[in-house]
Amino acid sequence: MQMIKATKSSTAKTAIVLDTRRIKSHKKFPVKLRVTFERKQNYYSTPFDLSTAEFEKIMYGKRVSEKEKTLKQSILEFETKAIEILQQIPYFTWSIFENFYYSNRLPKGNVEAAFNEYITELKSESRLGTADSYKCAMKSIYSFSPNLKFVEINKEFLTKYEKWMIENGKSKTTVGIYLRSLRTLFNKQGIDKSLYPFGNNKEKYSIPTSRNIKKALTLVEIKKIFDYAATPKSTKEMAKDYWIFIYLCNGLNVKDFCLLKRKNIDDDILNYVRAKTQRSKNNSERITVSLKSQAKEIIQKWGQPSINSESYVFPHLVSGMTPEQERSIIKQLIKTINKYMKQIASELGINKEVTTYYARHSFASVLKRSGVSTEFISEALGHSDLKTTKSYLAGFESETIHKTTEALTAFTT
């Protein structure tokens, strides 16, 4: 077997060899790429066949024609490709090497560039909140490791990043959000499964999940909010009324609240599609809400009168606004509602930082405590699966738990 000088790359070696074990019909031998790793050798075909003399002259000769130089370069391209793969994969296995060698796809890819590309895509779809979240993830990961390549990311790297985040005062919830964003980009890259660092077995990195903090109020606390008397027509009264409207209307989020139009209301029924799911062909189900008398009174008090079906119900957005302008107004409204609801909660002795999230979670939890099925609640919230709904449902109040377990000692005499 003839060969040229081997090149060491990573822990494997490559060489172009003439496989003299098998002569072809035209009395020539196949030229092959040989890869050696831990004393094991694998051979990879090339489209070239040469005699021993031709191989010696083309690969080692000092006086060669232009045609022979070109042929040598073409042969060496197979080794160059192998070397590039070996230099970029974090560790060597035959399956990893062969996946990239045969797929003509090197595991390149700058993480920051992939983030920026996806952020641009999100903005083009007016998914500005998600774009902001990915931007925060990108900045964090870049701060930890500038010029990071996907191929450099493994369990060890992710574990170190998580530790660095925690040491810098970030929560596991934040770590989870950022690394789920990174995982999405990994999935979009189509990187080989053997290089995929995420998973639940001990060889992979498991993205941390924080203990779900329930954001639901008891029915007693909700009644206190309903009964709270704010100064008429004040911003505090508006915040309270908006919070109640959100609670009564299936816990709709503030973006959907602002996007409500007159055409969404048909007497005692409110119909709308969550902005979050409008892009999805499969999950953009219409949510139907029974408008209670209190909700209709809030529309009457704070809504803008109009017979135009395309008019917004509440006077916050204006037709023709850019997505950026809409997002700015919605964020400010959320801040306003949360600011005054925290004040109201404090005045009422509710020891919780009541926000718009509490309205949504409380809607789900109150129904659950009333015996409504999780499936119905899931549909009312517009969730695509029950797992999301279950995370919303707060545990039953202590009184309910005590009452339920009284049967354990309800002895008869």
- Asked if pLDDT for residue 9 goes beyond 70, the answer is no
pLDDT band at 280 (very low <50, low <70, confident <90, very high): low
Give the closest residue to 219 by CA, choosing from 392, 404, 362: 362
- Is 6 a residue whose pLDDT tops 50? no
135: amino acid identity, one letter: K
More confident residue, 209 or 291: 291
Q: Above 80 in pLDDT, residue 403? A: no
Q: CA-CA distance, 42 to 29, in Å (whole number)?
A: 17
With residues binned 3-state (H G I as helix, E B as strand, rest as coil), the percentages for the chain, rounded to 5, are 55, 10, 35
Residue 9, phi then psi, degrees to nearest 5: -140, 125
CA distance 134 to 129: 9
Q: 400 or 272, which is more confident?
A: 272
Q: With b meaning 16 or more CB within 10 Å and e meaning fewer, what string describes 393-411?
A: bbeeeeeeeeeeeeeeeee
- Spatial strand order of the sheet with 286-290 comes to 265-266, 269-273, 286-290
Q: Is the pLDDT of residue 263 over 90?
A: yes
Q: What pLDDT is recorded for position 412? A: 58
Residue 7 confidence class, pLDDT cut points 50, 70, 90: very low
Q: How many other β-carbons are positioned within 10 Å of the β-carbon of residue 362? A: 26
Average pLDDT for 153-180 = 93
Answer yes or no: are the C-beta atoms of 352 and 358 closer than 8 Å.
yes
Does position 395 have pLDDT exceeding 70, yes or no? Answer: no
Length of the chain, in residues = 413
CA distance 317 to 163: 43
Taking residues 172-197, report their average pLDDT: 86
List phi, psi (to 5°) of 50. -140, 155
What is the Cα–Cα distance from 370 to 12, expressed in whole angstroms? Answer: 65
What is the β-pairing status of strands 40-50 and 7-9? unpaired
- Encode pLDDT of 90-122 as tens digits: 778 887 788 778 765 544 578 988 899 899 988
Between 380 and 144, whose confidence is greater?
A: 144
Quick one: DSSP state of residue 395? Answer: P
What was the pLDDT predicted at 401?
53
What is the average per-residue pLDDT within 175-183? 95
Give the tokens for residue 96: 């990893």
Inter-residue contact 79 to 99 (CB < 8 Å): no
Lowest mean pLDDT among 94-98, 227-231, 236-240, 328-332: 94-98
| Arithmetic mean of pLDDT, 61-75 | 89
Q: What is the pLDDT of residue 4?
A: 45
In percent, the amount of the chain with pLDDT more than 70 equals: 84
Q: Is the pLDDT of residue 189 over 80?
A: no
User: CB of 285 within 8 A of CB of 382?
Assistant: yes
Report pLDDT for 135.
95
Give yes or no for residue 8 having a pLDDT over 90: no
> What mean pLDDT comes out for the span 61-78?
90
Band of residue 31 on the pLDDT scale cut at 50, 70, 90: very high
Q: What is the pLDDT of residue 245?
A: 96
86 and 98 in contact (C-beta within 8 Å)? no
Using DSSP, state whether 283 is helix, strand or coil: coil
- Closest Cα partner for 380 from 371, 370, 389? 389
Nearest Cα neighbor of 15 from 39, 44, 50 is 44
Could you give the CA distance from residue 118 to residue 116 in angstroms, rounded to a whole number? 5
pLDDT at 139 over 50: yes
Residue keyed to tokens 């040229």 = 4
Does 384 score more than 70 pLDDT?
Answer: no
Average the pLDDT over 235-243 and give the result.
97
Average pLDDT over residues 306-335: 92
**386 pLDDT band (50/70/90 cuts)?**
low
CB burial of residue 62 (10 Å; 0-12, 13-18, 19+): exposed
Residue 93 identity:
T
Backbone angles phi, psi at 271, to 5 degrees: -120, 130
pLDDT band at 391 (very low <50, low <70, confident <90, very high): low
The confidence score (pLDDT) of residue 224 equals: 96
For 282-305, what is each residue's pLDDT tens digit?
556 788 888 999 999 999 999 998
- Predicted local distance difference test score (pLDDT) of residue 392: 59
Tell whether pTM > 0.85.
Answer: no
Say how far apart CA 138 and CA 114 lie, in whole Å: 9
Identify the residue with better confidence: 125 or 281. Answer: 125
The strand pairing partners of 13, in sequence order, are: 8, 36
- Tokens 């299936």 -> residue: 250
The band of 326, judged by pLDDT with boundaries at 50, 70 and 90, is very high
Cα 393 to Cα 256: distance, rounded to the nearest angstrom:
21
* More confident call, 382 vs 249: 249
CA distance 147 to 158: 15
**Arithmetic mean of pLDDT over the chain:** 85
The contacts of residue 202 (CB under 8 Å, 6+ apart) are none
Q: How many CB atoms lie within 10 A of CB 77?
A: 11
> For residue 277, what pLDDT band results from cuts at 50, 70 and 90?
confident
**Measured in Å, how far apart are the chain's first and last C-alpha atoms?**
96
